[in-house]
Structure 1
Amino acid sequence: MPRMIAPDISTWPEEDYQLVGGACADCAATVFPLQELCPRCSKPAVERITLPRTGTLVAWTTQGFLPGAPYLGDETQQTFVPFGVGLVQLGDVIRVEGRLTENDPKKLTFGMPVALTAVHLGTDTAGDEVLTFAFEPLSSKES
């Protein structure tokens, strides 16, 4: 049975799942992932919120080598495929760093609309598929 890498970072397995962040009731800072104390004012006033599913690509790069520990993917040096990593502005709420479904920098542009999705990361010791969140570029018809 598939599972999300960290169950508390999203509403997965909902069909149109969202990332879970926090908003500070005292200073209005937004954080991802959710945490107990506000990183801006240090007060324990962070309340759970869900983040927008779509956003715009602000910056990106390609991860061209197999990440080191504690990376949980099950690729090897022989099977590793480079993947895109991007900084995504989710509405006017927050910027989130995450995997991209596209790894070709020539196909990525500043301001490109993207949407949240889930991608295969690996298989755990019980044989279950482990997923992670990612952002996929939207065509002009979808944005």
Structure 2
Amino acid sequence: MQRIIDPAISTWPEADFRLVGGACGDCGATVFPIQDLCPRCSRPSVRKITLPSTGTLVAWTTQGFLPGAPYLGDETPKTFVPFGVGLVQLGDVIRVEGRLTENDPEKLEFGMRVALTPVPLGTDPEGNEVITFAFRPAARQEI
């Protein structure tokens, strides 16, 4: 079986996979992940929203070492493959940090269009495949 790393952060397993954030009804701030109180005005007026599924890569780096706890990946120091991590501007709504499906610096560039995608992360103690979100280079029709 598969499960998402945190059911509150996305619409997975829906076909129209989206991240779930929050929008404050009082001050208009947008947050990801959703939380009970607005980080800007501290009011409990945050309502659930789905975020855009495409965006622009604002900044990126390559994770060149195995992350420590609480990382849920199955890799070991011998099997670990570096992966990209990026800051993505989703429309004019919010910037989200996430894993990138591309790790080759020659194929990443600031301002490139990316699209949200679910990716396997590891296996939980019950044997379920854990899914997380990542951003991949966007296809022409997604731009």
TM-score by length of 1: 0.97
Q: C-alpha deviations, 1:18-65, integer Å up to 9, x for none?
A: 100000001000000000000001110101000000001000000000
| Aligned positions of 1:36-115 closer than 5 A | 36-115=36-115
- Taking the aligned partners of 1:64 and 1:139, their CA distance within structure 2 comes to 27
The within-5 A match list for 1:125-140 is: 125-140=125-140
Per-residue deviation, 1:142: 4.0
2:13 is matched by which residue type in structure 1? P
Letter in 1 for 2:30: T
The answer on whether the counterparts of 2:54 and 2:138 sit within 8 Å (CA) in structure 1 is no
Secondary structure at the counterpart of residue 13 of structure 2? coil
Would you say 1:26 and 2:38 are equivalent positions? no
Provide the secondary structure at the position in 2 that maps to 1:111: coil
Aligned to 1:17: 17
Indicate the RMSD between aligned Cα atoms, in angstroms.
Answer: 0.9
The percent identity for this pair of structures is 77
Distance of 1:40 and 1:142 partners within structure 2: 32
Q: What SS class does the counterpart of residue 8 from structure 1 fall into?
A: helix
Name stretches of at least 5 consecutive residues in structure 2 with no aligned partner: none
CA contact (8 A) 2:56 2:114 kept: yes
Tell me the TM-score normalized by structure 2: 0.97
Structure 1: distance between partners of 2:13 and 2:140: 27
- Count, aligned residues: 143
Distance 2:15 2:103 in 1: 25
CA distance in structure 1 between the aligned counterparts of 2:118 and 2:49, rounded to whole angstroms: 19
Structure 1 moving runs of 4+ over 4 Å? none
Q: Secondary structure at the match of 1:61?
A: strand
Query: Given that residues 2 and 131 in structure 2 are in contact (C-alpha distance below 8 angstroms), is that contact kept between their aligned partners in structure 1?
Result: yes
Cα offsets for 1:86-139 (capped at 9, x unmatched): 000000000000000000111111111100001110001111100110000124
